[in-house]
Amino acid sequence: MKGSDISYKVTLTQSEKEVIWTPKKGTILELCESVGVDPDFSCRTGTCTTCEAKLLKGTTEYETEPYMEPTNGNILICCSIPTSDIEIAL
């Protein structure tokens, strides 16, 4: 898949939601907000770690490298996008 053809399933386990992510949907935080999930966040730039969440399955990458690294096994959803189908404890 290339460009706008990319899509991944994002499962939010605590919210019991499955959502399809595409590049137009932005970061994982923006995707969550678009389906009515309201995770904690503050900066939207990866500097505060307020949005840190446990990545249970799959892979992500940072659209913008965060200033602060999350705890091992966690991601900062404000600046992360999926690179595979993922499950997040949100």
Cα separation values, 57 from 11, 17, 24, 43, 45, Å: 9, 15, 22, 25, 23
Q: How far apart are CA 87 and CA 65, in angstroms?
A: 21
Q: Could you give the number of structural domains in the chain?
A: 1
Digit-coded pLDDT (tens) for 8-34:
999 999 999 999 999 999 999 999 999
| pLDDT tens digits, 50-83 | 999 999 999 999 999 999 889 999 999 999 999 9
Domain that holds residue 13: 3-88
Q: Where are the alpha helices (DSSP H) in 37-81?
A: none
For β-strands 80-82 and 60-62, DSSP reports them as antiparallel
The CATH number for 50's domain is: 3.10.20.30
The model carries a pTM of 0.91
- Residue 53 and residue 36 in contact, taking contact as beta carbons nearer than 8 Å: no
